[in-house]
Amino acid sequence: MGDASAVARESQDKDKRYDRQIRIWGKDGQRKLETANVCLLGAGPTGSEAMKNLVLGGVSSYTIVDGTKVTERDLGNNFLMDKSSLGQSKAECCSRLLQDFNESVSGRFVAETPEQLMDAKPDFFDGFDLVLATQLTSAYQHKLCDICRKSGARVVFGRSYGLFGLVRISASEHTVVESKPDNVLLHLRVKDPWPELAEYASNFDLESLDDMTYKHVPYVVLLIKLAEAWKLGHGGNLPQGRAEQRDFKAFVRSQQRRRRGEPEGVADEGENFREAVENAHYLWSPPGVPSEISRYFADPACEEITSASSHFWVCMAAVKDFVAERSGGALPLPGSIPDMTATTDLYLDLKRLYDSKAEEDCDWVFDRAIQILSRTPGADPSALGRDYVKGFCKNCAHVKVLRFPTVRQEQEGFLGGASQSSYLQSLLLSEDTAENAFVYLMLHAADRFRQTHGHFPGKFDDGVQEDVGGVKSIVSSALSEAGLPTIPVAEEYVQELCRCGAGEIHTVAAVVGGIVAEEAIKLLTEQFVPLSGTLVYNAIRSTTLRIGKF
Amino acid sequence: MYEGGRWEDVDLVLRREGASALTGPGFEASSELVPFLRSDCRILVIGAGGLGCELLKDLALLGFGNIEVIDMDTIDVSNLNRQFLFRMKDVGQPKAVVAASRIQERVEGCTVVPHFGRIEDKPAEFYRGFHIIVLGLDSVEARAWINETACSFLEHDEEGNVDLSTVKPLVDGGTEGFKGHARVILPGITPCFACTMWLFPPQTKFPLCTLAETPRTPVHCIEWAHLIKWPKDNEMEEFDVDNVDHLGWCHREATERAKEFGIEGVTLQLVQGVVKNIIPAIASTNAIVAAACATEVLKTATMCSAGMDNYMMFMGGEGIYTHTVKYERDECCPVCSPGIFLTVQSSVTLGDLIKRISVHPKALGKVERPSVSHGTDNLYMQGPLEEATRPNLSKTLGDLLGGTGQKALAVNDKRLPRTLRVTLSVVP
């Protein structure tokens, strides 16, 4: 067997192994995962679980950093610890057992504490695409945040604390082309058909069609034609206001043919007419340019393209020009239409029309993007591929830009800034969010407690009640300093916090680690939308709350 | 540094008092709870797949020491991206057996008994023997089956109040891509699976005439080959979604048809996705949902913390969003509501019982040609099974239902709006 066929076989095996996830993020997403180098800080259950999910998914490499040794207690809360490693390096044990999950991932470990590494060798973090930072206290979260903003690595923080957890991301900017929303608005252009579509629709002579074809005229054509007919009787206007819109739908229904021999009888239910009624709203409220995209158009990153600008922003600038100069307000056509009742030929005709218009729009955007790059000193126009532009145009109604505040900005903002504290106030006052907003503040108080007492609250069986008092006073002074209200079950929550004694219960860690991995995958594949703000997980209620006005 | 024992993290919340507003009803902190989990509490995990592997690990690391697992599948290469207890060399082996042995190897003192087979092949008594049943399934039918079994254990008093000792808690998880759910079902107390059947939308089915006459998409071409062409060409043989030759045939036929109609996009991957109804799955969502479920198992077993009330939806595609909602029981649920109460002697025949049921006011005069079942046993059926089950009409209830005590029957009749539940108190 030659090398080429061995390579082909390996790639086939990988396709099979990763089939269930490739169906979600595609081969492109998988390829991005397979080139990612990920560092894990903390080989406790939260970190081990997070990394386990990424090793299974097939990242390129992992590096486990932990300076502690395997104890009896680790065997009880972490599946990536085994008895033979008692007393030895936790990082080494975790790294060795992770390797069993996927032989194509390369693993290594560093038996030092993350804190030592950050203090002594901050350049250690250069070269990682992503750092998963687990169980760090606030002070070292700040430090890692600063280090990784410089090195360019993105960070996902995960913290499990008894029955509670926190997850947040730090990165200066993350852009997503394929955000893959659940619900998408269709860009059908039935309100303002371009000339070829208008001509295609006008060529239908509905009267002359046989019954079978009549029931298979695509609803897009029906809407364009019936809108024209409506305009004739309404001074050239489309239906305006609810009453007219209702009348228009009735008008669409009335166009169905009657069943033979039943002159007064039931209309011959045509699925295509039902679809036309269902989608008639695209005539009076077409999707247009979403407000989020308009905001991106006005973003300094879009207005000032430099040689350092990413292709994302170059395409954004080109699409902005397209909307202003070319299309009269419509985004480039995505070039896909949903399935709809139609004959094969009519559907494929229509599909070709949309596809070729999408290609034409993409050509314009591509040309403009190249022009923008050509006039930008130091930029390389040849580095921009048409495929990227095509992908951008296809998804441009749903692209996303996320900019994450640093950990310090978030914390100072909340407890210092007036606008943030009024946000937190509204969370504390609303029944749905009060408990988890309080949990967020309480976990910060636990870190402060540790700074002053040298241990986490509830560490010793006989000191639980005393620690409850200590945490309560930290929380209440933080709340009153920021002018924030408390919540009815505040004392109960502090009690629960101290009861857990900062333990890492395996299943809480598995939820937090799972969410950390989920965010890591979204960052690495550059698909879907990562979490903005801080997520609070409450295992008592089995609820979460996202905190952050970003 | 304080190390504590192996189960220290769980023991903290079990041996220390919690705040009464945030713990379960009647929780009593005790250092006896860990030993209870280690040796007395019996848990059944149904499914050793994506959720099952995670559940087994989660329960073992919460300290549960008596676990059994049932699964009818064998390991496939496409499981390895998330079913972390399996390796390439295990492909073809029974999932339950391999999963059980991996957990036992890693977690000392945890016993996991595997059952390689179908859930329907185990008697109801098998399921009755567990304190809590945890579901890691991907099929609506299997969930409905186990739900009916668990609800058939329910006993009520004459006022319709649940006998709490007959409540068999179910904890159920499910995932698809970045989405999932976790829920706790306390039959008779919180909504059962049948109370909230609407949570599972029906699968998209294409009209046969679209497939036969006006295909427009690659999926139409594949479904045509699968549903129309195969039965026509292979009268004797059923299409087997796991047979490589059948899949290859389907791929060729669908490709041919797509070409004929000028449709693009039929690939083997899509063919498999459509005919096997593949649900995309990733490790992280399974880990999250399974862990949320396992936490609820711990709470249900020990009351150490307020339970989830009663359904959590998880959405990870756009940020992380969860919604925990208290669904309501359907008071008329045919599966978990008490329905009609009758006290009968064990010498009464099934035929006579049916007569008594038909004149009961709650039968609305609509029970004329009923089918009657007990759990998953068909006692008397209409249609093709009528002849085979007719002899049961003259048998006594004592013989048919296995003795005396409370028994739950389900009565169906075309004229009834829904299944009628009949709770029998069978006396000597």
pLDDT tens-digit readout, B340-361: 888 899 999 999 999 999 888 7
Q: How confident is the model at residue A370 (pLDDT cuts 50, 70, 90)?
A: very high
Q: Note whether residue A45 is domain-resident.
A: yes
B198 in A contact zone (CB under 8 Å)? no
**Residue B292, C-beta contacts closer than 8 angstroms, at least 6 positions apart:** A507, A511, A539, A542, B173, B182, B308, B312, B314
B212 in A contact zone (CB under 8 Å)? no
Q: Which long-range contacts (CB under 8 A, 24 or more apart) does B388-396 make?
A: B392/B350, B393/B349, B393/B350, B393/B351, B393/B354, B394/B349, B394/B350, B394/B351, B395/B349, B395/B350, B396/B346, B396/B347, B396/B348, B396/B349, B396/B350
Chain A: residue nearest B91 by CA? A17
Mean pLDDT for chain A? Answer: 93
Q: Note whether residue A465 is domain-resident.
A: yes
Instruction: Report the C-alpha dihedral over residues A32, A36, A41, A42, rounded to 10 degrees.
Output: 70
Beta bridge partners of B113: B68
Sheet holding B340-345, edge to edge: B340-345, B420-427, B405-412, B371-374, B377-380
Do the chains contact at A546 and B321, CB–CB below 8 Å? yes
Q: Are residues A333 and A371 in the same domain?
A: yes
**Mean pLDDT confidence for A79-107:** 97
| Cβ(A501)–Cβ(B13) below 8 Å | no
Pick A17's closest partner by Cβ from B15, B81, B288: B81
Query: How many other β-carbons are positioned within 10 Å of the β-carbon of residue A60?
Result: 16
Q: CA B332 → CA A137, B81, B167, B338, distances in Å?
A: 52, 43, 18, 8
Coil, strand, or helix at residue A518? helix
The angle, 0 to 180 degrees and rounded to 10, between the axes of the packed helices A195-202 and A219-233 is 90
Residue B3 is predicted with a pLDDT of: 45
Query: At residue B363, does pLDDT exceed 90?
Result: no
A543 in B contact zone (CB under 8 Å)? yes
d(CA A384, CA A408): 36
Give the DSSP H or E segment for B372: strand B371-374
Of A219, A254, A284, the residue that ends a domain is A284
Q: How confident is the model at residue A1 (pLDDT cuts 50, 70, 90)?
A: very low
In chain B the domains, ranked by start, together with CATH numbers, are: 8-200+281-325 (3.40.50.720), 208-275 (1.10.10.520), 340-427 (3.10.290.20)
Q: Are residues A397 and A435 in the same domain?
A: no
Q: Note whether residue A182 is domain-resident.
A: no
Provide the token pair at B297. Answer: 């198992």
DSSP state string for A373-436: HHTSTT--GGG--HHHHHHHHHHTTS-EEE-PPPHHHHHHHHHH-HHHHHHHHHHHHSHHHHHH
Query: At residue B48, does pLDDT exceed 70?
Result: yes
Which of A10, A11, A13, A20 should be substituted to probe chain B, the one whose Cβ sees the most B Cβ atoms within 10 Å?
A20
**Residue A198, C-beta contacts closer than 8 angstroms, at least 6 positions apart:** A224
A113 in B contact zone (CB under 8 Å)? no
d(CA B64, CA B294): 10
Do the chains contact at B62 and A82, CB–CB below 8 Å? no
Q: How confident is the model at residue A259 (pLDDT cuts 50, 70, 90)?
A: low
Which of A101, A499, A532 should be substituted to probe chain B, the one whose Cβ sees the most B Cβ atoms within 10 Å?
A499
Residue A261 is predicted with a pLDDT of: 57
Do the chains contact at B320 and A535, CB–CB below 8 Å? yes
| Cβ(B81)–Cβ(A17) below 8 Å | yes
Q: Are residues A297 and A380 in the same domain?
A: yes
**Residue B308, C-beta contacts closer than 8 angstroms, at least 6 positions apart:** A541, A542, B182, B183, B184, B292, B296, B299, B324
Q: Are residues A115 and A85 in the same domain?
A: yes
Catalytic residue among B110, B209, B293, B333: B209
Contacts of B301 in chain A (CB under 8 A): none
Q: Note whether residue A186 is domain-resident.
A: no
Of A402, A420, A435, the residue that ends a domain is A402
Do the chains contact at A543 and B84, CB–CB below 8 Å? no
B263 in A contact zone (CB under 8 Å)? yes
Q: Are residues A106 and A166 in the same domain?
A: yes
Burial class of residue A447 (count of CB atoms within 10 Å of its CB; 0-12, 13-18, 19+): middle
Write the DSSP symbol of residue B265.
-
For the ranges A357-361, B52-56, B329-333, the lowest mean pLDDT is seen at B329-333
Q: Name the residue with higher pLDDT: A1 or A417.
A: A417
A500 in B contact zone (CB under 8 Å)? yes
pLDDT in tens, A62-74: 999 999 999 999 9
The angle, 0 to 180 degrees and rounded to 10, between the axes of the packed helices A418-429 and A407-416 is 80
The angle, 0 to 180 degrees and rounded to 10, between the axes of the packed helices A311-321 and A386-395 is 60
Q: How confident is the model at residue A414 (pLDDT cuts 50, 70, 90)?
A: low
Query: At residue B66, does pLDDT exceed 50?
Result: yes
Q: CA A445 → CA A79, A169, A468, B96, distances in Å?
A: 30, 21, 11, 45
Contacts of A504 in chain B (CB under 8 A): 9
Residue A267 is predicted with a pLDDT of: 55
Do the chains contact at B216 and A347, CB–CB below 8 Å? yes
DSSP state string for A104-161: TSEEEEE-S-HHHHHHH-GGGGTT-SEEEEES--HHHHHHHHHHHHHH--EEEEEEEE
The count of structural domains within chain A is: 4
Pick B319's closest partner by Cβ from A459, A508, A531: A531
Q: Are residues A63 and A111 in the same domain?
A: yes
Instruction: Report the C-alpha dihedral over residues A529, A535, A540, A543, rounded to 10 degrees.
Output: -40
Q: Are residues A307 and A435 in the same domain?
A: no
Query: At residue A516, does pLDDT exceed 90?
Result: yes
**Residue A529, C-beta contacts closer than 8 angstroms, at least 6 positions apart:** A176, A179, A400, A402, A522, B317, B318, B319
Q: Which segments within B124-186 are labelled E, that is strand? A: 132-136, 170-176, 179-185
**Catalytic annotation on B293?**
no
B296 in A contact zone (CB under 8 Å)? yes
Residue A542 is predicted with a pLDDT of: 97
Q: Are residues A12 and A138 in the same domain?
A: yes
Q: Are residues A532 and A489 in the same domain?
A: no
B303 in A contact zone (CB under 8 Å)? no
**Mean pLDDT confidence for A347-359:** 96
Q: Are residues A366 and A412 in the same domain?
A: no
Residue B1 is predicted with a pLDDT of: 37
Do the chains contact at B287 and A513, CB–CB below 8 Å? yes
Do the chains contact at A515 and B316, CB–CB below 8 Å? yes
d(CA B182, CA B165): 24
Do the chains contact at A511 and B16, CB–CB below 8 Å? no
Query: At residue A417, does pLDDT exceed 60?
Result: no
Nearest to A212 by CA among A270, A266, A275: A270
Provide the token pair at A302. Answer: 């879009």
Q: Estimate to the nearest angstrom the gap between the alpha carbon of B321 and the chain centroid.
A: 25
| A to B CB pairs, distance under 8 Å | 254
Contacts of A69 in chain B (CB under 8 A): none
When mean pLDDT is compared over A134-143, A312-321, B387-396, the highest value belongs to A312-321
Residue B4 is predicted with a pLDDT of: 58
| Cβ(B51)–Cβ(B57) below 8 Å | no
pLDDT in tens, B303-345: 999 999 999 999 999 999 999 999 999 887 878 888 888 889 9
| Cβ(B283)–Cβ(B1) below 8 Å | no
Peptide bond between residue B310 and the one before it cis (omega within 30 degrees of 0): yes
**Residue A480, C-beta contacts closer than 8 angstroms, at least 6 positions apart:** none
Query: At residue B284, does pLDDT exceed 90?
Result: yes
Q: Name the residue with higher pLDDT: A158 or A286.
A: A158
Q: Note whether residue A328 is domain-resident.
A: yes
d(CA B38, CA B15): 15
Residue B383 is predicted with a pLDDT of: 87
Give the DSSP H or E segment for A478: helix A464-481
Query: At residue A257, does pLDDT exceed 90?
Result: no
How open is the CA angle A467-A469-A473, to the nearest 5 degrees? Answer: 115
d(CA A47, CA A60): 18
| Cβ(B425)–Cβ(B406) below 8 Å | yes
Q: Note whether residue A189 is domain-resident.
A: no
pLDDT in tens, A154-210: 999 999 999 999 999 999 999 999 999 998 889 999 999 999 999 999 999 999 999
Boundaries of domain holding A522: 3-176+507-547
Phi-psi category of residue A152: left, alpha or beta, with phi > 0 → left and psi -120 to 50 → alpha: left
What one-letter code names the amino acid at A425? Q
Contacts of B209 in chain A (CB under 8 A): none
Q: How confident is the model at residue A265 (pLDDT cuts 50, 70, 90)?
A: very low
Coil, strand, or helix at residue A2? coil
| Cβ(B83)–Cβ(B98) below 8 Å | no
Query: At residue A266, does pLDDT exceed 60?
Result: no
DSSP state string for A301-345: HHHS--TT--HHHHHHHHHHHIIIIISSSPPPP-------S--HH
Tokens 């939260």 belong to A46
d(CA A175, CA A396): 12
Residue B2 is predicted with a pLDDT of: 41
Write the DSSP symbol of residue B89.
G
B312 in A contact zone (CB under 8 Å)? yes
CATH number of the domain at A542, please: 3.40.50.720
Query: How many other β-carbons are positioned within 10 Å of the β-carbon of residue B187?
Result: 27
A118 phi and psi angles, rounded to 5 deg: -65, -40
Q: Are residues A58 and A115 in the same domain?
A: yes
Q: Name the residue with higher pLDDT: A2 or A237.
A: A237
B394 phi and psi angles, rounded to 5 deg: -95, 0
Do the chains contact at A56 and B62, CB–CB below 8 Å? no
Q: Note whether residue A230 is domain-resident.
A: yes
Q: How confident is the model at residue A258 (pLDDT cuts 50, 70, 90)?
A: confident
Q: Which of residues 56-95 of B touch A (CB under 8 A)?
A: 57-58, 61-63, 77-78, 80-82, 84, 87-88
**Mean pLDDT confidence for A88-92:** 98
| Cα end-to-end distance, chain A, whole Å | 55
Write the DSSP symbol of residue B203.
P
Q: Note whether residue A185 is domain-resident.
A: no
d(CA B313, CA B295): 15
How open is the CA angle A456-A460-A462, to the nearest 5 degrees? Answer: 135
d(CA A488, CA A180): 40
Query: How many other β-carbons are positioned within 10 Å of the β-carbon of residue A461?
Result: 10
| Cβ(A92)–Cβ(A111) below 8 Å | yes
What is the percent of chain B where pLDDT is above 90? 76
Q: Are residues A396 and A411 in the same domain?
A: no
